[in-house]
Structure 1
Amino acid sequence: MELDVVGLSRLQFAMTALYHFLFVPLTIGLSILLATMETVYVMTGREIWKRMVKFWGTLFGINFVLGVATGLTMEFQFGMNWAYFSQYVGDVFGAPLAIEGLMAFFLEATFVGLFFFGWDKLTKRQHLAATWAVAFGTNFSALWILIANGWMQHPVGAMFNPDTMRMEVTSFFEVLFNPVAQAKFVHTVSAGYVTASMFVIGVSAWYMLKGWHIAIAKRSIAVASAFGFASALSVVVLGDESGYEANLNQKMKLATIEAMWETEPAPAAFNVVALPDQAKRENLFAIEVPYVMGLIATRSLTEEIPGINELVEESKDRIRQGAIAWDALQKIRDNPKDVDPAVRDTFVQNQHTLGYAYLLLSFTDDPLNATNEQIDAAAWSAVPEVWPMFYAFRIMVACGMFFILFTAVFFYYSSSAKLDRLAKDRRWILHIAVWSIPLPWIASEMGWFVAEYGRQPWIIEGMLPTSAAASNLSVTEVLLTLAGFIALYSTLLVIEITLMLKNIRKGPDDGRTESHEPARPVSTGAMPAPAE
């Protein structure tokens, strides 16, 4: 990435987004787990479940506050670093963000206060309702954010107005039910559920290794393993749906994920391992599994998946057509009231390729008279770097397969009442659980990298290149704010980890007046009897 204003602005937004998403999936997943645990408490009346809710709720609260703090700056960056983007799509993009703030964020922010301070002021059922409201609000918040992001990946329900130079909503229904947005939402929240489940299992496994809080640890594993196993399976299924949508709407992203340079006969093979060479535009080495990619991406045996080279040739045709739309747009802007109707007709016929003309502006000031070399360079600029996409996707998939196996193992032991065997005879499984806590975050970050880096060079797929969307800032200004964000976010991350570890070491209230379980027995190899 070049150290220009656009490159630095991309780096700044990527850094803040990736930092922010360290907190989001745990918040999404823990909210549902808390509501589930409290439902059991209300149904059974057993105090141990209340203590579980309070303990995991404390960790949820720490994560929630840090998530809010890191998320606030992201929306301001649209105006600060991406002024033309904000002006270009504000009518479309601003609507779901406004709804998220008014409906979802205020909902969860209101009821999260009742969750923490309402234990002695609300009845059991009222407090449970508040907890579920927090869970619904958290997930609704993700919905509206991902509707906005999904529109950037697949812009539907809007039309460019040459007189205002803005995108304008033509069908909010299409924006709301954008298939890419819906697939991203269910995939993302399911990943959050897996993250929370892995976190709860890992912390509980640590308690079991230490011989602390055994009753709460076992019940937490039981809930989290069942929830996590179902969620891990759904992540894979819903990830397949995202891949299918990518084949329909973002073919270049899919081709770079698979390092597929040439169009293969249907059904295409899946590259398990490859060594992509961007300069030579080929794979120096590859291990393939026949038919798999074609079945996943097209759900058929006959439909081809276009390779990178074919898609580049298609981009060249769109660039030439987009140059015609760009020339007509300039004439409309120069004389909007008295422009020849034929010019408007020319623009309308070609406006769907206008964004491709903007790719040429990085190589020439006159897209209509661009040379073949400039068109070729612009077309290849629409290809993301292949090897990071290829391996980031495979890291994410490998983690997903591990999560299914991991949660299935703990679900088996918890459902068959054999968790004590883990602490006595298979402690290595508990150690793996502890060391696996960071893996869901790694998978989530890889997923967002694939989604966002794979969209480049577009900030709005096929409509507006990232290079045309940045604010008119200096490199120094962006560098200073980038350094400030890195310092601030790193400090917040240290605070988050410190507070989480402090409360995990402190552990839940064992309710010794209600139970015979010792708070922290000295580990002698024998496990204390669980409190009931």
Structure 2
Amino acid sequence: MDLDIVALSRLQFAITALYHFLFVPLTIGLAVILAIMETVYVMTDRPVWRQMVKFWGTLFGINFVMGVATGLVMEFQFGMNWSYYSHYVGDVFGAPLAIEGLMAFFLEATFVGLFFFGWDKLSKVGHLIATWAVAIGSNFSALWILIANGWMQNPVGAQFNPQTMRMEVTDFFAVLTNPVAQAKFVHTVSAAYVVAAIFVLGVSAWYVLKGRHLQLAKRSMTIAASFGLAASLSVVVLGDESGYLSTEHQKMKLAAIEAMWHTEPAPAAFTAFGFPDQAARETHFAIHIPIVMGLIGTRSLTTEIPGIHELVERAKERIHNGVLAYDALQTVRAAGRDSAIPPDVRKTFEEHGLELGYALLLKRYIDDPRQATPEMIDKAAWDTVPQVWPLFWSFRVMVGLGMFFIVLTATFFVLSARRRLDRHRWLLKLAVLAIPLPWIAAEAGWIVAEFGRQPWIIEGVLPTAAAVSDLGVATVLSTLVGFVLIYTVLLVIEMKLMLKAIRQGPHPDRGEGAALLSPLVGPQPPQAVEHTA
């Protein structure tokens, strides 16, 4: 029954997170695109650029509101569904979340109001500063969230206190400069820029196909193609950095992504295609590209990447060491005060304390890890292997789409330079059809990042099964159903508002707040709309 609670709690958080991330990347990316467009407006003083900022700002505003509504619930879930996690690492994990709220979200929310209602109250430069503040605030928000998430992937700058049974911060600067967090931030933000660029490109291509708002559409396509090409190339480069860091900090995740069951001679090959079979512990019909994985994972031709079987054997050793640490921990806690701890017990805990989390993997099979049988230890070691086929295919979907975005944005970048954006209707139709693809790539990326960390909620420190709240299955199931229904309604509302705003197109500038209210007003006469374009 405990396992059912764990599975349902994981599913609930996964669904709310994936729903939330439908809104987040478009908000982050559109904010920067708006700032770029308004910079051009201030420099050129051409009204069409102001109209572009207001039109795309309308879509940004709708998405921003939905992102806030869906994001608030997620932080409360740590207390509702993951109470032991909150107790165990609250000192570390809570700090970035608090800073995100104080520094980033308030900054972003304040300047969002100035963006929408300050057109007639601020100077051009003043309003431009507010727009850039929105863009910076949205990126800062992502930074602190991803610092917290990166710490879960690579827990640095903190130490377990056996007296309080909690992880406590020892070096907050190490938490901030965590290489996994920094790589995850720039990779995630670049992916968000791609989402926004393809969205602007696709909507603008639809206008060109319809012969509407051509000045606005072609200029928007130029910005989107340039911005999207730079972002797409950045995603590839930064994704390579994430792969390299996984070799250092999350070896099992990398082996599972590659379905690499055994260690291969260096440099390892990249498995371009195959069907991972976890039961048989092999990959059927695998097609390998020599050397590539070794270069990505190790940046050398001589360093091996360990396979799943070898990593499981290492996990068995770490579980044995973790049991020693667990036994020493019981003595430390019974001693009560530091001076009463026997020296040999203190030494044992200092030597093996970092592997205490591996002993907790045995809690799934027995209450006292010290009583575990060899069979239990073997099962716990294989529990460190995440489900391979979802990781294997999610990674390849993400990479394949990333390559497609580079080709697509590069093509439109060249067409824009040659002023031939409207020459190939099939390319315009392809851009429209491509609108949902960046979201698929982004969600696949999160599946790789989070699913690949299992069975750990904090890599090597706390198993997911040990972090849940003591709730009934019915409670978790009912809230899961409720969240799905509410979030689906919010998604439908956003889609309706976004599609209505896109169909109507840019509106005449009616003064303060027009950009925010335009999707809620009735359609304007076509002549007036075309005249303003």
TM-score normalized by the length of structure 2: 0.95
Gaps of at least 5 residues in structure 1 are 513-517, 522-528
Distance in 2 separating the partners of 1:511 and 1:148 = 42
The C-alpha deviation readout for 1:314-367, integer Å capped at 9, x for no partner, is 000000000000111122223322332332221111101000000011112232
* Counterpart in the other structure of 1:464: 462
SS at match of 2:422: helix
Question: Is contact 1:212–1:520 with CA below 8 Å preserved after alignment?
Answer: no
SS at match of 2:349: helix
* Counterpart in the other structure of 2:345: 343
Question: CA 1:395–1:519 in 2, change beyond 3 Å: closer, same or farther?
Answer: farther
For structure 1, which segment, 44-53 or 327-336, has the greater mean C-alpha deviation from structure 2 after superposition?
327-336
CA positional deviation for 1:531: 8.6
Question: Is contact 1:35–1:131 with CA below 8 Å preserved after alignment?
Answer: yes
The C-alpha deviation readout for 1:428-485, integer Å capped at 9, x for no partner, is 1111111110000000000000000000000000000000000000001101111111
SS at match of 1:302: coil
Question: Is contact 2:507–2:532 with CA below 8 Å preserved after alignment?
Answer: no
* Counterpart in the other structure of 1:355: 357
Distance in 1 separating the partners of 2:303 and 2:85 = 36
Does residue 415 (structure 1) correspond to residue 437 (structure 2)? The answer is: no
The C-alpha deviation readout for 1:113-148, integer Å capped at 9, x for no partner, is 000000000000000000000000000000000000
For structure 1, which segment, 411-420 or 208-217, has the greater mean C-alpha deviation from structure 2 after superposition?
411-420
SS at match of 1:284: strand
**1:352-391 pair list within 5 angstroms:** 352-391=354-393
Does residue 134 (structure 1) correspond to residue 138 (structure 2)? The answer is: no
* Counterpart in the other structure of 1:198: 198
* Counterpart in the other structure of 1:234: 234
State percent identity of aligned pairs. Answer: 69
* Counterpart in the other structure of 2:403: 401
Does residue 450 (structure 1) correspond to residue 478 (structure 2)? The answer is: no
For structure 1, which segment, 2-11 or 247-256, has the greater mean C-alpha deviation from structure 2 after superposition?
2-11
CA positional deviation for 1:2: 9.1
Question: Is contact 1:261–1:282 with CA below 8 Å preserved after alignment?
Answer: yes
Gaps of at least 5 residues in structure 2 are 511-523
Does residue 148 (structure 1) correspond to residue 148 (structure 2)? The answer is: yes
CA positional deviation for 1:509: 2.6
**1:427-506 pair list within 5 angstroms:** 427-506=425-504
Q: 1:392 is aligned with what amino acid? A: S
* Counterpart in the other structure of 2:517: none
Distance in 1 separating the partners of 2:274 and 2:60 = 40
**1:322-337 pair list within 5 angstroms:** 322-337=322-337
Q: 1:187 is aligned with what amino acid? A: H
Question: Is contact 1:200–1:220 with CA below 8 Å preserved after alignment?
Answer: yes
SS at match of 2:267: coil
RMSD: 1.8
Question: Is contact 1:183–1:238 with CA below 8 Å preserved after alignment?
Answer: yes
TM-score normalized by the length of structure 1: 0.95
CA positional deviation for 1:415: 1.4
The C-alpha deviation readout for 1:80-122, integer Å capped at 9, x for no partner, is 0000000000000001000000000000000000000000000
* Counterpart in the other structure of 1:124: 124
Distance in 1 separating the partners of 2:458 and 2:374 = 25
Q: 1:382 is aligned with what amino acid? A: T
Q: 1:261 is aligned with what amino acid? A: W
Question: CA 1:435–1:171 in 2, change beyond 3 Å: closer, same or farther?
Answer: same
* Counterpart in the other structure of 1:30: 30
Distance in 2 separating the partners of 1:397 and 1:446 = 10
For structure 1, which segment, 278-287 or 189-198, has the greater mean C-alpha deviation from structure 2 after superposition?
278-287
Distance in 1 separating the partners of 2:313 and 2:437 = 39
* Counterpart in the other structure of 1:524: none
Q: 1:506 is aligned with what amino acid? A: Q
Distance in 2 separating the partners of 1:189 and 1:389 = 21
Q: 1:393 is aligned with what amino acid? A: F
Q: 2:52 is aligned with what amino acid? A: M
The C-alpha deviation readout for 1:348-399, integer Å capped at 9, x for no partner, is 1110100000001111223223221111000001100111110000000010
CA positional deviation for 1:3: 6.6
SS at match of 1:288: strand
* Counterpart in the other structure of 2:94: 94
Q: 1:485 is aligned with what amino acid? A: F
Distance in 2 separating the partners of 1:310 and 1:201 = 47
CA positional deviation for 1:307: 0.2
For structure 1, which segment, 100-109 or 412-421, has the greater mean C-alpha deviation from structure 2 after superposition?
412-421
Q: 1:440 is aligned with what amino acid? A: P
Distance in 1 separating the partners of 2:157 and 2:169 = 6
Distance in 1 separating the partners of 2:422 and 2:124 = 32
Distance in 2 separating the partners of 1:497 and 1:240 = 34
* Counterpart in the other structure of 1:305: 305
* Counterpart in the other structure of 2:321: 321
Question: Is contact 2:3–2:465 with CA below 8 Å preserved after alignment?
Answer: no
Q: 2:329 is aligned with what amino acid? A: L
* Counterpart in the other structure of 2:189: 189
* Counterpart in the other structure of 1:6: 6
SS at match of 1:459: strand
* Counterpart in the other structure of 1:526: none
The C-alpha deviation readout for 1:196-222, integer Å capped at 9, x for no partner, is 000000000000111110000000000
Distance in 1 separating the partners of 2:148 and 2:336 = 31
Does residue 217 (structure 1) correspond to residue 211 (structure 2)? The answer is: no
Number of residues paired by the alignment? Answer: 517
* Counterpart in the other structure of 1:515: none
Distance in 2 separating the partners of 1:2 and 1:89 = 21
Distance in 2 separating the partners of 1:434 and 1:418 = 17
Q: 1:224 is aligned with what amino acid? A: A
Distance in 2 separating the partners of 1:75 and 1:57 = 27
Q: 1:355 is aligned with what amino acid? A: G
Distance in 2 separating the partners of 1:292 and 1:74 = 38
Question: CA 1:465–1:363 in 2, change beyond 3 Å: closer, same or farther?
Answer: same
Distance in 2 separating the partners of 1:209 and 1:288 = 42
SS at match of 1:471: coil
CA positional deviation for 1:291: 0.6
For structure 1, which segment, 463-472 or 279-288, has the greater mean C-alpha deviation from structure 2 after superposition?
279-288
